[in-house]
Every structure is written in structure tokens, then in C-alpha cells.
Amino acid sequence: MLLLTSGLGAIHRRPAAGLAQIAAIIDTVGHYALVMLLGRPLPTVNFRVDYLRPAINTLLTVTGRVRRSGRLVGIVDIDVVNQAGQLVAIGRATMQPQSDPTRPGF
């Protein structure tokens, strides 16, 4: 679990987490969850984010759950929740555990 605070507000004149920030933290938490399980970095095969509501004037809690950690594919679901407990965004990262860490791009 990770808490995210944002001070981006210059454009909108209010603190808000931008779409790119939310996508980046979803990607980071998804990788972290699987890396902690397997002990090495993994390439992403597929990445998806669904934005459900704006994240304005709120702390965000980001939680990753490893759904599958197989030989050929690892899947992590990530939830982003605001202080009121409402889902702000959900993400899914699919990674390739069977990659060769000595070969770039694999």
C-alpha cells in the first residue's frame, strides 16, 4: 500500500492528481508487488488504467494485489482509493516473469 499526495494545482488552481500521475503510480505499485514476490524486475506485456472519478483535494491510497504469478505471465490488479474510500482508478499490469534479465528488451 502506498499513500500519494499531490500538489499539482497551478493549472486548475486546486490540488489534483493528474491522469499521468495516477497511471505512473499504478505502474510503479504493480511492478513493486511482483518484484517483491519474485526478487527481480520484469518487463510489462500489457498495462491498463480505468479512471473512475477525479482525485481532487484528497490523499490517495494505492494497493496492488498479485492475481497470478506463473512461469509465463504475472498479473497484478491495482486499486487507487481516495480518503472517502471511493475508487478513483483501477489498473491491471501483465508482466513476463520468464524473461531473460541479461538480454535488453526481454
Confidence at residue 99, expressed as pLDDT on a 0 to 100 scale: 58
Give the model's confidence band at 70: pLDDT under 50 very low, under 70 low, under 90 confident, else very high: confident
Q: What percent of the chain has pLDDT over 90?
A: 51
The C-alpha cell that represents 59 in the structure block: 490523499
Domain count, the chain: 1
| This prediction's pTM | 0.77
Range of the domain at 56: 2-95
The reply to whether 89 falls in a domain is yes
In a domain, 103, yes or no: no
Does residue 78 form part of some domain? yes
Q: In one letter, which amino acid is 67?
A: R
- Is residue 25 included in any domain, yes or no? yes
Q: DSSP character for 33?
A: H
40: in domain: yes
In a domain, 104, yes or no: no
The dihedrals phi and psi of 61, each to the nearest 5 degrees, come to -110, 125
pLDDT at 57: 85
| 70: Cβ contacts below 8 Å, ≥ 6 apart | 97
Is a pLDDT exceeding 50 seen at residue 8? no
Q: Tens of pLDDT along 76-105?
A: 999 999 999 999 999 999 999 875 556 555
User: Is there a domain that residue 101 lies in?
Assistant: no
Residue 53's pLDDT band (cuts 50, 70, 90): very high
Label residue 93 left, alpha or beta by phi (over 0 means left) and psi (-120 to 50 means alpha).
Answer: beta
* 2 vs 103 pLDDT, higher one: 103
Alpha-carbon distance of 35 to 41, in angstroms, equals 6
Q: How far apart are CA 63 and CA 60, in angstroms?
A: 10
User: Could you tell me the CATH number of the domain that includes residue 63?
Assistant: 3.10.129.10
| 100 inside domain | no
Distance of CA 99 to the CA centre of its chain: 21
| Residue type (1 letter), 30 | G
